[in-house]
Every structure is written in C-alpha cells, then in structure tokens.
Chain A
Amino acid sequence: DVKVTQSSRYLVKRTGEKVFLECVQDMDHENMFWYRQDPGLGLRLIYFSYDVKMKEKGDIPEGYSVSREKKERFSLILESASTNQTSMYLCASSWTGNRETQYFGPGTRLLVL
C-alpha cells in the first residue's frame, strides 16, 4: 500500500527557530514535493525534487530550503521561522512513469509564535 509519512502532525515553534519538516515515502518514487496549504489560497508549491540531491524552486521558495540525501526522504527547512510561515505543510511523491499522480502525506500543521 502506498504510504507517505510526515514526521509530525502538529508543531509549535518560536520566531527565529530553525525548523525541520521530514517526509518519507516507501514507494521508491523519484519525485517529491513540498506544498503549503492556506485557506483561500489552495496548495502552493515550495520546492520539488526529481532525484537524490536534486532540487528545484516552486512558486514560493523564499524563506525555505530543502534537502534530499536519500531517495525516500525529502526535508523542508525553515532557517529562521517567522509568523507568516504558520501554515499546513503537505508532502507528496510521484513516480516518473506516472508523474501526474501524486500521493500525499497527512500534513504537518505548523504554528510559529
């Protein structure tokens, strides 16, 4: 069964802290994505990766970075968290042979105080 897991369902951090959000998929997918979801704005792509150590900026990369050292793991990093980064963060993955079908994790709700 397809599975994308995210390290935390809920996270509370303080302004200026460094925050790591982890995503792991067990489907041997090449492509992985990080989105943020905000009311009225839908999902917006932050970064994506199509291979180990490869990354590309999405629509809203400012204030974020990513790391993909292993195929199954894709990390989102907030170098210095700010209150406007309070959001729901969703990770997804897809297989290059069927890249249009993305599988999503349950999301991490991050609150930055």
Chain B
Amino acid sequence: GNSVTQMEGPVTLSEEAFLTINCTYTATGYPSLFWYVQYPGEGLQLLLKATKADDKGSNKGFEATYRKETTSFHLEKGSVQVSDSAVYFCALTSGSARQLTFGSGTQLTVLP
C-alpha cells in the first residue's frame, strides 16, 4: 500500500534560516505529491504539489521537487519567517484513488 514518511519534529529555527523538511514515500503506480500546511487553529491548506517526476512545485517561497529515483519530495525554503510557523504535512495520491495518504506532520516554529 501507499505510505509517507516525514522527518520528525518539532523543528525550531530562527527567522531567515534555511528550512528543509524531508519526505519520502512508498506507492504503487505514479503518485502525485503534495505539501499541506496547517496554521494554528485552522484546517489544512494546500501549499504546493507536483504531479510527475522532476516537477517542481512552488508557492509562497516554498519549493519541493518530485524525485522518483529517491522517492522523495523534500520541502525547502530559503529564508523562513515567523508567520511560517505551522504544521506541515506531506501527502500523496495515486491511481484512481481519490483519497490522500498523509505523513505524520512536522511542527515548525520560527523564532524572531
């Protein structure tokens, strides 16, 4: 079956630091890959996605590249802000399935 493994948190960074959150996956077929973000007290929002190998998803300064050879989709941002403090979830969907398979989530705290 499908599964997603994320680096464990929590992650604490200073403002303007470089961020990497690792995500690897196991899936049958050719999955689409996603990063969702959950700000405090809110539901999840789609942050970015990539639908095929070597695609790069980007949004709000965040990037992730779909690496089929390493089955990875690591999230990166060059300079984090306090407002980026949230929980980040890596997810995938593949084949005809409509549902998402999520990783366990990574709590990010950015200090001023």
Select the stretch in A13-21, A37-45, A76-84 that faces chain B: A37-45
Interface residues on B, range: 20 to 34
Tell me whether B45 and A48 are in contact (CB under 8 A): no
In the assembled complex, how far is the CB of residue B22 from the closest CB belonging to chain A, in whole angstroms? 15
A43: contacting residue among B42, B98, B102, CB under 8 A: B102
B44 within 8 A of A: yes
Number of cross-chain contacts by CB at 8 Å: 50
The listed residue with most A CB atoms (<10 A of its CB), out of B41, B46, B98, is: B98
Task: Give the shortest distance, in Å, between A87 (CB) and chain B (any CB).
Answer: 14
Give chain B nearest CB distance to A22 CB in angstroms.
15
Contact assessment for A42 and B93 in the assembled complex, using a CB-CB cutoff below 8 Å: no
Judge if A8 is at the interface, Cβ distance under 8 Å: no
When C-beta atoms are compared, the residue in chain B nearest to A43 turns out to be B102
Least CB distance from A13 to B in Å reads 21
A61 at the interface (CB under 8 A from B): no
- A53 within 8 Å of B by Cβ? no
Residue B104 interfacial (CB < 8 Å)? yes
Complex interface: chain A residues within 8 A of B4 (CB): 42
* Per-residue contact bits, chain B 31-57, to A (CB 8 Å; 1 contact, 0 not): 010100000011111100101000000
Are A105 and B34 also in contact (CB < 8 A) when A48-B99, A100-B93 are? no
User: Of residues A45, A92, A101, A104, which shows the largest number of chain B Cβ atoms within 10 Å of its Cβ?
Assistant: A104
Given known A33-B99, A40-B104, A106-B41, contact A101–B89 (CB-CB < 8 A): no
- The closest CB in chain A to the CB of B4 belongs to A42
Q: Indicate which residue in A42, A94, A107 contacts B89 across the interface (CB closer than 8 Å).
A: A42
Residues of A within 8 A of B105 (CB): 42-43
Q: Which residues of A in the span 92-109 have a Cβ within 8 Å of any Cβ on B? A: 92, 94, 99-102, 104-107
Beta-carbon contact of B43 and A100 below 8 Å: no
Q: Does B100 contact A (CB under 8 A)?
A: yes
